[in-house]
Amino acid sequence: MIEKHIVLEDIDPVVFYGVGNAHLQMIRALYPKLRIVARDNVMRVLGDEEQMASFEENAEKMRQHVLKFNSLREEDILDIIKGKRTKDEVPDGVVCYSMSGRPIKARTENQQRLIDAYFGNDMVFAVGPAGTGKTYLSIALAVKALKEKTAKKIILSRPAVEAGEKLGFLPGDMKEKIDPYLQPLYDALEDMLPQVKLQEMMEKRVIQIAPLAFMRGRTLSDAVVILDEAQNTTPAQIRMFLTRMGWNTKMIVTGDTSQIDLPKTQKSGLIEALHILNEVEGIGIVRLDRTDIVRHKLVTRIVNAYEAFDKENKQE
């Protein structure tokens, strides 16, 4: 009789154990000669040596399944333990899976162009109105790189510019001050990574928050770097940011040129960068439009109404 400890790394143990430990109970029934005690992400296993070897191998297969698909069904457990074939490859077009097991993939042609541009270039500009999935897809691509170990870290940045109202001085340390501006990025990360794992990654600086004002002098290597709301950068800021790029790094710059919150006398760095870098090799520029909006149908109508209003004002 032997004892081993199996650590469920990089996954949410709740998904592995099932609701009310239903999966764990099923696994115990399939391995009657083993005593399995689970606490957090560690399983203490005691029992027959032959079944132990089989359990170790299949537990790793189940962990890999959860890591890829963020889900584990009873059918998957049975297929893995009984040696039947189970889906082990992510289908074409799927970037990664949400915490609910929903496949995250392009829903429009321009969103697919964004994904293709990411894999075909080291730097990508994704420009379009609200709700077109620019930020969400960018985070999904970054999470995919992290899971597949093609990048060692994710670096998130965003200019600290309020949308029309002055919030004054915010309390707390630098992370707490910048957090309100980065909430959309956090929302996307929380939809794709287990909460405990996300917190751990942030503590270990695998996922970093890098305020734009503090980027000068850094070289960003082995990372996926995302600059969100780039329309609110100044020409000097975006120039400084783009030149932080190091080896084995992908940069994604997202923005909406119709929602510039800079003072009217200040030129948007994003607009200038798109003009200057339009023909530079290795840089992909993807323009999304109102047909790519994937939020509530009212968002499309709102964008259309404001576009018509802006056009009318320009004519006047």
Please, what is the average pLDDT of the chain?
A: 85
| Amino acid in the structure at residue 29 | A
- 3-state secondary structure (DSSP) of residue 111: helix
Report, as an integer, the average pLDDT of 252-281: 90
Q: Does residue 167 surpass a pLDDT of 50? A: no
Q: Would you say 38 and 63 are in contact if contact means Cβ atoms under 8 Å apart?
A: no
Per-residue DSSP letter, 286: E
Q: pLDDT-derived band of residue 173, with 50, 70 and 90 as boundaries?
A: low
HSE (side-chain half, CA atoms, 13 Å) at 69: 17
Tokens of 227: 């600059």
Q: What is the pLDDT of residues 113-128, one digit of tens each?
A: 999 999 999 999 999 9
Q: Does residue 166 surpass a pLDDT of 50? A: no
Beta bridge partners of 226: 156, 252
Report, as an integer, the average pLDDT of 244-263: 90
Q: What is the pLDDT of residues 269-312, one digit of tens each?
A: 999 999 999 989 999 999 998 888 776 678 778 877 887 887 77
Pick the range with the lowest mean pLDDT from 28-37, 96-105, 159-168, 191-200: 159-168
Q: Which of 163, 156, 142 lies closest to 256, judged by CA?
A: 163
Q: pLDDT-derived band of residue 242, with 50, 70 and 90 as boundaries?
A: very high
Global pTM value: 0.80
Beta bridge partners of 123: 251, 283
Report, as an integer, the average pLDDT of 85-106: 80
Residue 301: the pLDDT is 80
Q: In sequence order, what E strands does 112-190 have?
A: 123-127, 153-157
